[in-house]
């Protein structure tokens, strides 16, 4: 092994210099890093919490956590991925404090046919994409919390069902069921 090589994966991070300055306690760097990520992380919070004021509060707490623990960031992922993990965990914990109620899978019949898959029947129409995104966003806001959270983590944040189960402290089967039921309900709303 070469003497200057590090063990484990290392990811190039376009904000590495800002992170280094933050680790040295530079407030200006914290502000710049905050500005780089605030919109994207707010959207993550909003998708999970479905409440603007709560999303803003959780976002601020997540940034405070990130900056107070910035010295534990080792560059094994990008700063954005590390921050997103903090944001998602903060949002989930906030939901728990609101007593997140997931739909009980025992009250539903498993294996039920979800019907026609609309994704396969609709041609792609570039002109209406923005209108459709807004329609989906509004429909997502109408979903019960459990469905919305699982759908958001799976579809938007890229979590798999095992990770969702760990974060929400539910079984992988419950996560899959919440996803399927949420997807079905979303299609009904659309």
3-state secondary structure of 9: coil
pLDDT bin (cut points 50, 70, 90) of residue 11 is low
pLDDT bin (cut points 50, 70, 90) of residue 180 is very high
Domain boundaries, the chain: 15-104, 129-189
User: What share of the chain in percent tops pLDDT 90?
Assistant: 60
pLDDT at position 109 is 45
pLDDT at position 134 is 80
pLDDT at position 81 is 92
Q: At what angle do helices 16-23 and 79-97 cross, to 10 degrees?
A: 70
Fold of 15-104: Rna Polymerase Sigma Factor; Chain: A (1.10.1740)
183 in the Ramachandran plot: left (φ > 0), alpha (ψ -120 to 50) or beta? alpha
Q: Are 108 and 147 in contact (CB under 8 A)?
A: no
**CA distance linking residue 62 with residue 119, whole number of Å:** 35
Q: Are 62 and 53 in contact (CB under 8 A)?
A: no
Q: Which residues contact 92 (CB under 8 A, 6 or more apart)?
A: 48, 100, 149, 167, 168
**CA distance linking residue 48 with residue 5, whole number of Å:** 39
Residue 156 predicted with pLDDT over 50? yes
98-146: pLDDT as tens digits: 764 554 444 444 444 444 444 445 555 555 676 777 888 889 999 999 9
Q: How many CA atoms lie within 13 A of 96 on its CB side?
A: 10
Q: Is 129-189 in CATH node 1.20.1180.10?
A: no
pLDDT at position 113 is 46
Q: Which residues contact 83 (CB under 8 A, 6 or more apart)?
A: 37, 41, 62, 63, 66
**CA distance linking residue 42 with residue 94, whole number of Å:** 14
Residue 13 predicted with pLDDT over 60? yes
39-80: pLDDT as tens digits: 999 999 999 999 999 999 999 999 999 999 999 998 888 999
């Amino acid at each position: 092994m070469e003497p200057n090589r590090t063990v484990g994966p290392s990811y190039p991070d376009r904000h590495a210099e800002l992170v280094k300055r933050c680790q040295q306690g530079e407030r200006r760097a914290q502000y710049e890093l905050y500005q780089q990520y605030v919109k994207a992380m707010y959207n993550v919070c909003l998708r999970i919490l479905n409440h603007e004021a709560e999303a803003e509060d959780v976002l601020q707490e997540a940034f405070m956590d990130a900056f107070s623990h910035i010295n534990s960031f080792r560059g094994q992922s990008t700063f954005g991925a590390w921050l997103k993990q903090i944001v998602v965990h903060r949002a989930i914990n906030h939901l728990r404090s609101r007593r997140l109620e997931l739909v009980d899978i025992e009250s539903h019949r498993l294996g039920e046919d979800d019907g026609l898959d609309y994704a396969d029947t609709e041609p792609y129409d570039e002109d209406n994409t923005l209108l459709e995104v807004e329609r989906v966003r509004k429909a997502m806001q109408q979903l019960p919390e459990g469905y919305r959270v699982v759908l958001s983590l799976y579809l938007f944040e890229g979590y798999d069902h095992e990770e969702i189960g760990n974060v929400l402290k539910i079984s992988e089967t419950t996560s899959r069921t919440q996803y399927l039921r949420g997807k079905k309900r979303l299609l009904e709303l659309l």
